[in-house]
Amino acid sequence: MMITGGCGFIGSNFIRYMLKESDFTGKIINVDKLTYAGNPENLSGIEDEFKDRYAFIKADICDSAKIAEIFEAYKVDSVCNFAAESHVDRSIVKPDAFIQTNIMGTFILLESARLQMDHMVRFHHISTDEVYGSLGSEGYFTETTPYRPNSPYSASKASSDHLVRAYHKTYGLPMTISNCSNNYGPYQFPEKLIPLIILNALEGKPLPIYGDGRNVRDWLYVKDHCTAIWTIMKDGKNGETYNIGGDNEMENITIVKMICDVLDEIGKLNNRRSRRDLITFVKDRPGHDRRYAIDFTKLYEELNWRPEASLETGIRDTIQWYMENQVWVDRVKSGEYLSWMEDHYG
């Protein structure tokens, strides 16, 4: 199995799950460009523990010759495509990188898979609920919700979804797509809301919240996401899309207060203030979708999957992980791991 973007947040959690906990018995080829969010330290120890079942290759999915070479050398029979530029704020400032990686990169993977379709079992494409746009105060995204992306990031993911589906309809490529809600958990890059709030709150720094903080997201613990992906790859129907949700819909301001309260239980700030006092409202970002909410009925009814983690247990586990992995946090925040990657991988 080729896993692209396997050194990123969700990809590295998926590789750990597949090798350590799932019933998968094959070999994983992890292909990652190692951009700012791709950190080999997320998979520390995996290569030594699974010498015969894991290989890492530094490569850009936009490099068609290299990708074709990997497909041929390893006789790739399945792909799980995590590789993507994924941060909405970055897409607003620099949309060209998102167009290149998310659209052209997916196209190059699809072409390589098409050329070896005689032994391709599954091409699974990881997408997002952001392709559906924004919801009002009621209703849920389903697999038949029309696409209405509102940022360069979500537009690029919508385009890649359409490409994957077109390769199934046109060429018969065996594929599935999953559109997930907001992930959180171990190894998430600190620019995202939950790790940013956790780390700032631990250090007594301001906790920035866009607008009025009433934007609603459905939160999915990354381990639950991993089990859902593998369920779809094994048992999902070719040509189908499956929504993956956490059944944890909550306003941003509420989840920030939850994090503050959990950390206050562990220990107050030096001045004995509540961490809620650190909350700071900042100017809203352009095109900020008001509400996302996922209906994962199809995944539950057809494949018998549902999330296990509640938001409270997931948040507590995530906080604990960040507190116990301060060396990882310090290296990522300082950019030191980028120098380490340059020394190790060029």
Where along the chain do its domains lie?
Answer: 2-189+219-247+288-308
Whole-number percent of the chain with pLDDT over 90: 84
- pLDDT tens-digit readout, 201-237: 999 999 999 999 999 999 999 999 999 999 999 999 9
Other beta carbons less than 10 A from residue 48's beta carbon: 8
Does residue 7 carry a pLDDT above 60? yes
- Helix ranges (H only) for 24-151 are 46-49, 64-74, 88-93, 95-98, 106-115
Question: Model-level pTM?
Answer: 0.93
Residue 345: pLDDT band (50, 70, 90) is: very low
Whether 130 is catalytic is yes
Which listed residue (32, 130, 224, 289) is catalytic? 130
- pLDDT tens-digit readout, 111-137: 999 999 999 999 999 999 999 998 888
CA–CA separation, 333 vs 328, rounded Å? Answer: 9
Which of residues 320 and 332 earns the better pLDDT score? Answer: 320
Strand intervals (E) in the chain: 2-4, 28-32, 54-58, 78-81, 122-128, 175-180, 182-184, 207-210, 216-221, 240-244, 249-251, 279-282
Torsion, Cα of 333, 339, 344, 346 (10° steps): 120
Whether 129 is catalytic is yes
pLDDT for 341: 43
- Helix ranges (H only) for 21-150 are 46-49, 64-74, 88-93, 95-98, 106-115
The maximal CA–CA distance of the chain, rounded, in angstroms, is 66
**Which token pair is 22?**
């799932």
Element (H, E) at 155: helix 152-171
Whether 153 is catalytic is yes
Strand 78-81 relative to strand 54-58, pairing: unpaired
CA–CA separation, 77 vs 163, rounded Å? Answer: 19
Which listed residue (17, 54, 153, 167) is catalytic? 153
Does residue 176 carry a pLDDT above 60? yes
pLDDT for 335: 66
Element (H, E) at 159: helix 152-171
CB contact set of 199 (below 8 Å; sequence gap of 6+):
190, 322, 329, 333
Taking residues 156-164, report their average pLDDT. Answer: 98
Element (H, E) at 10: helix 9-20
Q: For residue 22, give the nearest of 314, 300, 222, 231 by alpha carbon.
A: 231
For helices 193-203 and 252-266, angle between their N-to-C axes, nearest 10 degrees:
40
Which listed residue (129, 218, 224, 289) is catalytic? 129
Strand 182-184 relative to strand 122-128, pairing: unpaired
Judge contact between 81 and 4, C-beta under 8 A.
yes
Residues forming a β-bridge with 175: 123
Does residue 277 carry a pLDDT above 70? yes
pLDDT for 283: 93
How many residues belong to the chain?
Answer: 346
**2-189+219-247+288-308: in CATH 3.40.50.720:** yes
